[in-house]
Amino acid sequence: MEEKIIDENKQGEALVLEATNGNTRKLFIESYGCQMNFSDSEIVASILAKQGYNTTKILEEADLVLVNTCSIRDKAEQTVRKRLEKYNAVKRTNPKMKVGVLGCMAERLKSKFLEEEKIVDMVVGPDAYKDLPNLLEEVEAGRDAVNVILSKEETYGDIAPVRLGGYGVTAFVSITRGCDNMCTFCVVPFTRGRERSRDPQSILTEVNDLAEKGYMEITLLGQNVDSYLWYGGGLKKDFKNASEIQKATATNFAQLLDMVATAQPHMRIRFSTSNPQDMTEDVLHSMAKHKNICNYIHLPVQSGSTRILKEMNRQHTREEYIALINKIWEIIPDCAISQDIITGFPTETEQDHRETLSLMEYVKYDFGFMFMYSERPGTTAARKLEDDIPLDVKKRRLTEIVDLQLMHSAYRTKKFVGKTLEVLIEKESKKSDQHWSGRTQYNTVAVFPKENYKVGDLVMVKVEDCTSATLLGVAVDYAE
């Protein structure tokens, strides 16, 4: 077991995206990694729609194949390398097909990619997608093309994404790019650059447009949403040099949440990802104030040991994290919480590991995303710390953490049995064409008979039973 994710979101699985328009050239675009990458692929599809590309789900008929890549762990990179082999096989039958690599691996490996993988024609980093039309011209002229320049300003705020997933019900809206936190294990600051926020007006315009098109739920996206800060553009770290007027009129994340929730009171609002050291009480108050902001926070902790947290440069202790959890429960008593945890970070002892388990016992997270530490080239941890925890120890610790999380997820899920909860219908259940599948505000999946309801309906569902992670119920006409 290399990594284990307990959630319906199937992180790490590729999503092939498709949307149709009047264009003739065919783009096959595939995304790996985080939600931000999926969201970026929608921006790329929008840029290429103007270049005459229509998306397809059939690899064999593509004129252009783009793979939006992830570097977070070695395994994510290996998955992409395997995919390139598959593209290679297809290219033999379709020699005109061009292949581009986007995203974090593109940024990390730069032009080395062209040397290492002969199939690749184009390498484009996360801040360079607006250059795609020029890069494609190069490629069409038979030359390799690379742009991996990171930007201080780029937020793609002016681009209306082509919606490729979400069944017309849920959508991602990106609000920040990059990350300044510099956790020692993490490659993201290197691949996605410094943190910058998007103009709140362009966020509102996008949200209002989604509402008009019938979307019922949005997720505000960023590597670190709590440090959202708009003061007229530019890097977050340069805010200290901003003018007094800029400082006085700046918008923070709590205010942004308030704006969006007020503008669209019938739309569900979610956000991801939160960082313990940046999450303010104001954010919790915004959540409590607006019924339409879902009571669910993804709050990665990484480790329950203060010593390891320090080695990770997480900027908070175990005690501070627990105090934040208590604050969340005080302000939003029913708030669902999920975690990310890394096992086997360099120097992690059995005692550190037990502290992670005991923290989990305290919080009893609703969901969890758990990973073995994977050393990433160039990070502080890779430069300064030896990857000294043997693989079998990492694996055993991961298994213990995953088993505990399974118990907690089942415990949290079971607590909903007998309750009547609002569920947003997203799609047909995978297991039965007679049932709908949707999510509660707590992000728990609920399945119930279709009756006359349709995708996009908000339905009150009486929960009668559950599996370890799914609620089973029936729709009722009223809340009990």
Could you list the residues that contact ligand 5AD (CB under 6 A)?
72-73, 185-186, 300, 302, 340, 342, 371, 373-374, 376
Give the separation between CA 425 and CA 440, rounded to whole angstroms: 9
Beta bridge partner(s), residue 214? none
**Quick check: 187 binds ligand SF4 (CB under 6 A)?**
yes
Residues contacting 240, CB < 8 A, separation 6+: none
Listed in order, strand segments (DSSP E) in 222-378 are: 229-230, 251-252, 268-272, 296-298, 336-343, 367-372
265: left (phi over 0), alpha (psi -120 to 50) or beta: alpha
Q: Which is nearer to ligand SF4, 16 or 322 (CB)?
A: 16
**Quick check: 342 binds ligand SF4 (CB under 6 A)?**
no
Q: Which is nearer to ligand SF4, 26 or 108 (CB)?
A: 108
The one segment of 66-74, 229-237, 325-333, 429-437 that binds ligand SF4 by CB under 6 A: 66-74
Q: Taking Cα atoms as reference points, which of 73, 82, 90 lies closest to residue 117?
A: 82
Among ligand SF4, ligand 5AD, none, the one that 36 touches (CB under a kind-dependent 5 to 8 A) is ligand SF4
Token pair 């990492």 is found at 394
Cα angle 103, 106, 109; round to 5? 145
Among ligand 5AD, ligand SF4, none, the one that 169 touches (CB under a kind-dependent 5 to 8 A) is none
Give the separation between CA 314 and CA 307, rounded to whole angstroms: 10
Binding mask 29-48 for ligand SF4 (x = CB under 6 A): ----xx-xx-----------
**Quick check: 72 binds ligand SF4 (CB under 6 A)?**
yes
Q: Is the dihedral of CA 22, 24, 26, 29 positive or negative?
A: negative
Buried b or exposed e, range 249-280, using 16+ CB within 10 angstroms: eebbbbbbbbbbbeebeebbbbbbbbbbbbbe
- Could you tell me the smallest distance in angstroms from the CB atom of residue 166 to ligand SF4? 18
From the list 12, 100, 103, 368, which residue makes contact with ligand SF4 (rule: CB under 6 A)? 103
Among ligand SF4, ligand 5AD, none, the one that 342 touches (CB under a kind-dependent 5 to 8 A) is ligand 5AD
Among ligand 5AD, ligand SF4, none, the one that 103 touches (CB under a kind-dependent 5 to 8 A) is ligand SF4
Listed in order, strand segments (DSSP E) in 107-212 are: 122-124, 145-147, 170-174, 176-177, 196-197
Q: Which is nearer to ligand 5AD, 49 or 398 (CB)?
A: 398
Q: Is the dihedral of CA 442, 335, 181, 340 positive or negative?
A: negative
Listed in order, strand segments (DSSP E) in 347-429 are: 367-372, 420-428
Q: Taking Cα atoms as reference points, which of 324, 443, 340, 463 lies closest to residue 401?
A: 340
Listed in order, strand segments (DSSP E) in 373-457 are: 420-428, 435-439, 445-449
**Quick check: 189 binds ligand SF4 (CB under 6 A)?**
no
Q: Which is nearer to ligand 5AD, 49 or 186 (CB)?
A: 186
Q: Which is nearer to ligand 5AD, 75 or 419 (CB)?
A: 75
Among ligand 5AD, ligand SF4, none, the one that 104 touches (CB under a kind-dependent 5 to 8 A) is ligand SF4
Q: Could you tell me if 299 and 283 are in contact, meaning their C-beta atoms sit under 8 angstroms apart?
A: no
- Could you tell me the smallest distance in angstroms from the CB atom of residue 74 to ligand 5AD? 8
Q: Which is nearer to ligand 5AD, 15 or 460 (CB)?
A: 15
Listed in order, strand segments (DSSP E) in 132-289 are: 145-147, 170-174, 176-177, 196-197, 217-221, 229-230, 251-252, 268-272
Give the separation between CA 259 and CA 175, rounded to whole angstroms: 13
- Could you tell me the smallest distance in angstroms from the CB atom of residue 300 to ligand SF4? 12
Give the separation between CA 278 and CA 195, rounded to whole angstroms: 13
Among ligand 5AD, ligand SF4, none, the one that 296 touches (CB under a kind-dependent 5 to 8 A) is none
By beta carbon distance, the residue nearest ligand SF4 is 33
Among ligand 5AD, ligand SF4, none, the one that 302 touches (CB under a kind-dependent 5 to 8 A) is ligand 5AD
Among ligand 5AD, ligand SF4, none, the one that 33 touches (CB under a kind-dependent 5 to 8 A) is ligand SF4
The one segment of 67-75, 330-338, 340-348, 470-478 that binds ligand SF4 by CB under 6 A: 67-75
Q: Which is nearer to ligand 5AD, 73 or 98 (CB)?
A: 73
* Binding residues for ligand SF4 (CB under 6 A): 33-34, 36-37, 70-72, 103-104, 187-188, 191-192
